[in-house]
Amino acid sequence: MYVVCMFDEMYSDNAQIREHYLKVNSWLRTMSSTIITKKNIEAESHFKRIGITFSVQDETMSERIIPFDLIPRILTNIEWSRIEKGVIQRTKALNAFLADIYSKGEIFKAKIIPEELVYKKASFDQSMINFSPPRKIYSPIIGVDLVRTGKDNFYVLEDNCRTPSGVSYMLENREIMMKMFPDLFHTNRVMRVDDYPTRLLQTLMSLAPKKCDSSIPTVVLLTPGHLNSAYYEHTFLSDQMGIEMVEASDLYVENDLVYMKTVDGPQKVDIIYRRIDDDYLDPLFYNPNSVIGVPGIMHAYRTGGVNICSAPGCGIADDKAIYIYVPEMIKFYLGENPILDNVETWRCEKDDELKYVLENISNLVVKEVDGSGGYGMLIGPKSTKETIQEFSSKLKNNPRGYIAQPTLDLSSSPTLIDNEITGRRVDLRPFCLMGKKIQLCPGGLTRVALNKGSYVVNSSQGGGVKDTWVLAD
């Protein structure tokens, strides 16, 4: 029996199946337990064969296949339209913010954001001051994490402006679903996502640097190597875009231009889609011990010899303390009201807000400002007294390192657990591209909390993924 809880995306309050789930429900009724088991095995074999894994940051440091759920998460065109407009609005504001803080700092003059909240952060790159990348676009690929609490209630949980990952899951989820259940796509008008690599390449090519002398710029993907947790995604995207995936040893700088070593001799590189952290980009500029960076690449970048996407220093825009001010950024830079709301957030570095958090910590979610992947986080209602006491001490010792938010009851999506359909909490990461034009891929990565009662959707914390459908009109 399907368990109805929270806001249910498949069932209405009177237990009626929502119209956009009717065809999928009919399909589910035809699925025997034998077929479900067979298809689950088929999906797992597919992911094993192509090597989609994620890293578990525990004592084992193991690589695991990400769990995949067969039941798609479905959004109507009306629902998607609001998400699309809201994410595009947010992407514009975040890029405007980056352009501003590295130049005139008008938002500081307007007293909207405290200067120290930006200038004292390690993610603020002093070397980017008074430098503007092509088209003034610092972060051309932004992933916005959304949660839903009601029919019309979508909230932004966080912004990912550096190198948002997960798009390979989005694409592979769709591919395996189309292979296993082609009839589903004949009976449902599902908008395509498979053209994302083409869109990404077009976006990157539209951001050519001033010294680019070709109408078809050369784009490469810079990876730290096979030990990186997102290495599969690097290989996948480079293959899908038809570009070279390179490591530092494949590149060199000469006369402030970047070249790639090939069997046919040096080839000039115009745009680098980098998937390595700022600190390791250039050992002459940042960490001198970096062996995965390219010496001299930052000087080539600053003199217009190459474009690096995303720009160094853009990580300040996805700082969890900066997130609080994004609605104000939207008003300040765009003159618009936010389409998507933030989750209410308390900055623990403020004495009054720290006091509130400590008094109510058992009912709140506490996050490290620089944390990711579901690590360094407390979910108060699901934590022991010992864990809560431990986190309380952390907050007192380092209040600047934490923020807190209310525990949202995330929406529930139908999910197959042990061959039975039950509700599990989900979130959504759509991917927005900003170059010559700005666009959103109609779908995104839906992550699902597979453990009963869990709020944590990260794969490293017991979460899985499912295909995300946006239905056409």
Extract the tokens encoding 48. Answer: 């094993």
**Which residue intervals of the chain bear CATH 3.30.1490.270?**
345-406
Can you tell me the distance from the alpha carbon of 158 to that of 369, in angstroms, rounded to the nearest whole number?
Answer: 11
Single out the residue of 55, 191, 11, 92 nearest to residue 439, CA to CA: 92
Share the mean pLDDT of the chain.
92
Question: Is 5's pLDDT higher than 70?
Answer: no
User: Is the Cβ–Cβ distance between 243 and 221 less than 8 Å?
Assistant: yes
Using one digit for the tens of pLDDT, what is the confidence trace for 191-247? 999 999 999 999 999 999 999 999 999 999 999 999 888 899 999 999 999 999 999
| Opening angle at CA 9, ends 365 and 81, nearest 5 | 90
**Secondary structure (DSSP) of 233-265:** HHHHHHHHHT-EEE-GGGEEEETTEEEE--TTS
Between 81 and 46, residue with greater pLDDT: 81
Burial code of 60-89, b = ≥16 C-beta within 10 A, e = fewer?
Answer: eeeeebbbbbbbbbbbeeebbeebbebbbb
Question: Is 453's pLDDT higher than 90?
Answer: no
The CATH number of the domain covering residues in 210-305? 3.40.50.11290
Task: Return the sign of the alpha-carbon dihedral for residues 170, 174, 176, 177.
Answer: positive
Q: Could you tell me the pLDDT band of residue 56, with boundaries at 50, 70 and 90?
A: low
Q: Return the CATH architecture of domain 345-406.
A: 2-Layer Sandwich (3.30)
CA 183 to chain centre: 30
Q: Could you tell me the pLDDT band of residue 372, with boundaries at 50, 70 and 90?
A: low
Q: What is the mean pLDDT of residues 271-299?
A: 97
pLDDT score of 53: 64
CA distances from 413 to 64, 72, 110, 247 (A): 24, 9, 43, 40
Using one digit for the tens of pLDDT, what is the confidence trace for 300-340? 999 999 999 999 999 999 998 899 999 999 999 999 999 99
Single out the residue of 178, 185, 262 nearest to residue 218, CA to CA: 262
pLDDT score of 3: 39
**Which residue intervals of the chain bear CATH 3.40.50.11290?**
210-305
Q: What is the mean pLDDT of residues 55-69?
A: 67
Q: Could you tell me the pLDDT band of residue 4, with boundaries at 50, 70 and 90?
A: very low
Can you tell me the distance from the alpha carbon of 305 to that of 321, in angstroms, rounded to the nearest whole number?
Answer: 34
User: Is the Cβ–Cβ distance between 317 and 98 less than 8 Å?
Assistant: yes
pLDDT score of 2: 36
Can you tell me the distance from the alpha carbon of 452 to that of 170, in angstroms, rounded to the nearest whole number?
Answer: 23
| Opening angle at CA 429, ends 308 and 63, nearest 5 | 80
Can you tell me the distance from the alpha carbon of 455 to that of 6, in angstroms, rounded to the nearest whole number?
Answer: 12
